[in-house]
Amino acid sequence: MKQSYGILLYRWKAGEPEFFLVHPGGPFFVNKNDGTWTIPKGEPNANEEPLNTAIREFAEETGYRPSGHFIPLNPIVQKGGKQVNCWAVEGDLDPVKIHSNTFELEWPPKSGRKQNFSEIDHAGWYHFEEAKKLINEKQQDLLVQFNNLVKRNI
């Protein structure tokens, strides 16, 4: 099973958590919104520790390196069968100032023309209900897990 490692960044506003989500870049997601947002995540390099992968991927996709107390969440499995392992950590960044790495893709298909696209084209902070609507359906459980942890610790 393929593995992916990511970070659910949160902050507190008016006593409620907000979640930092990113929208995938490239031509396939340009006109898609609800259900397409995600946590910053990616696959490990050879012999890379899982949490280090999650931190590196977050930094590559946003330009921000999270730090602090990382809270492990239970892994989820996306529709394609990839397991996503995630840690929640408190932090704050301006979504307007993110800068993402890029990837190359032949576009339009079969045109022979290669184009570079940002891996992430925009990001934002969202309260639980809005985040649940925007995030990939299988990743909704990460938000629910975090909320349940917070409620148990209040």
pTM for the structure as a whole: 0.92
Alpha helices in the chain (DSSP H): 50-62, 128-134, 140-152
CATH of the domain at 87: 3.90.79.10
CA distance 107 to 104: 9
CA distance 137 to 14: 26
Q: Please report the pLDDT score of residue 28 as a whole number.
A: 79
CA distance 65 to 92: 10
**Domain containing residue 36:** 3-152
Q: How many Cβ atoms from other residues are within 10 Å of residue 22's Cβ?
A: 25
Q: Digits of tens for pLDDT over the chain (154 positions)? A: 899 999 999 999 999 999 999 999 887 788 888 989 999 999 999 999 999 999 999 999 999 999 999 999 999 999 989 999 999 999 999 999 998 887 788 888 888 899 888 889 999 999 999 999 999 999 999 999 999 998 766 4
Give φ, ψ of 39 to 5 degrees: -80, 150
Q: Please report the pLDDT score of residue 154 as a whole number.
A: 45
Q: Structurally, how many domains does the chain consist of?
A: 1
Q: Please report the pLDDT score of residue 104 as a whole number.
A: 85
